[in-house]
Amino acid sequence: MRNMLSKLQIACDNAVFGCSAIVRLDNLMSHLSDCEHNPKRPVTCEQGCGLEMPKDELPNHNCIKHLRSVVQQQQTRIAELEKTSAEHKHQLAEQKRDIQLLKAYMRAIRSVNPNLQNLEETIEYNEILE
């Protein structure tokens, strides 16, 4: 019975949109995804923006409105990235200041106790290895 049904010839679901194809039932899904009369088939705007949208939305599409939306989203993202970058620069400056402070402490400790010279050399060697 299944074999008989799969061989059944049927009109395309998009016949109301102008498709005159008659296909086997087992090929219907494949045809529907490629049917040029399918109102939900993705098409690319050829008016300048290149947006991909369902075919039935193309007549109401406004490239300028879409591109403004894209620009606004990009400006928002740029502002977020600039804020993150500024925070990272601030953290980096704090870390550099902390490193300079630790180096000053090491010099002060080394001047008080010359035996710590080897400790500083070992730490510097380990930093180089890292």
For residue 114, name the pLDDT band (cuts at 50, 70, 90): low
The answer to the question of residue 126 being in a domain is: no
Supply the pLDDT for residue 47. Answer: 85
For the domain that residue 11 is a member of, what is the CATH number?
A: 3.30.40.10
Type of residue at 36: E
41 is a domain residue: yes
pLDDT, tens digit, 9 for 90 and up, residues 5-60 = 878 888 999 888 899 999 888 888 889 888 888 888 888 888 878 888 888 888 88
Question: Could you tell me which residues are beta bridge partners of residue 58?
Answer: none
Q: Quickly state the pLDDT bin for 115 (edges 50, 70, 90).
A: low
The verdict on residue 72 lying in a domain is no
Q: Which residue has the tokens 């061989």?
A: 7
Confidence at 1, pLDDT banded by 50, 70, 90? confident
Domain count, the chain: 1
Percent of the chain whose pLDDT exceeds 70 = 94
99 lies in some domain: no
pLDDT of amino acid 95? 95
The answer to whether residue 129 sits within a structural domain is: no
Convert the pLDDT of each residue in 54-90 to its tens digit: 888 888 888 888 889 889 999 999 999 999 999 999 9
Which residue segment(s) compose the domain that 52 sits in?
A: 5-60
Mean pLDDT (the chain, rounded): 86
Q: Are the C-beta atoms of residues 30 and 17 closer than 8 Å to each other?
A: no
Q: For every residue of the chain, which 3-state class applies, written as one string? A: CHHHHHCCEEECHHHHHCCCCEEEHHHHHHHHHHCCCCCCCEEECCCCCCCEEEHHHHHHCCHHHHHHHHHHHHHHHHHHHHHHHHHHHHHHHHHHHHHHHHHHHHHHHHHHCHHHHHHHHHHHHHHHHC
Are 53 and 41 a contacting pair, CB within 8 Å? no
